Amino acid sequence: MIADSSFVIDIMRNDESALQKLELIKTSQSPQYLTSPTVMELAAGISLARLPNREQNRIDIIMEEFQILPLDTASAWWAGLELGRLKREGMIVDPIDAQIAGIAVKHQEIVVTRNIRHFERFKDLSVESY
C-alpha cells in the first residue's frame, strides 16, 4: 500500500475514515509505503503552514510508520509516458501524481487516496479510497 499525501494529511487531521483505513492496513500487515514525491508534497505543505514546527512533528510521527519508495528511472519513464498519453487525450494531470503512480505500478502496490479522480486515469494502477 502506498499512501498518497491526502491520506497522510487526513490521518494528521484525525479523519475517522482515514484512521479506520490505516487500522485495516496495519492489521493486514501489508507493507506501508510513502513515495519520495509524496514526501516532497508534505514538505511543501509544511513550509506553507502557520505552525510549521508543530506540523513537522506530526508528520514525523506518521512517517515513522512508512518505508519510503524513491522515484527511480523506470518509474519516472512510465510516469512520463502516461503523462504524455493523458495530455494527448486532453486530460490535465499533476506530474507528481504521475510519479506516484509510476512508483506504485513498478512495485505493484495500491495507492490509497481521498483523490481517486487524480489516479484512476492511469493505466495498470490500483487505487483505493477510504
| Ranges of H-type helices in the chain | 5-12, 16-28, 36-48, 52-63, 73-88, 95-107, 116-119
- What's the rounded Cα separation, in Å, for the pair 73 and 48? 30
Structural contact between residues 22 and 62, judged by C-beta atoms closer than 8 angstroms = no
In this predicted structure, what is the pLDDT of residue 58? 85
Q: Which domains does the chain have, with CATH numbers?
A: 2-128 (3.40.50.1010)
In this predicted structure, what is the pLDDT of residue 129? 96
In this predicted structure, what is the pLDDT of residue 100? 98
In this predicted structure, what is the pLDDT of residue 86? 97
Which residue numbers in the chain have pLDDT < 50? none
User: Over the stretch 13-25, which tens digit does the pLDDT of each residue have?
Assistant: 999 999 999 999 9
In this predicted structure, what is the pLDDT of residue 46? 87
In this predicted structure, what is the pLDDT of residue 54? 81
Left (φ > 0), alpha (ψ -120 to 50) or beta: where does 49 sit?
beta
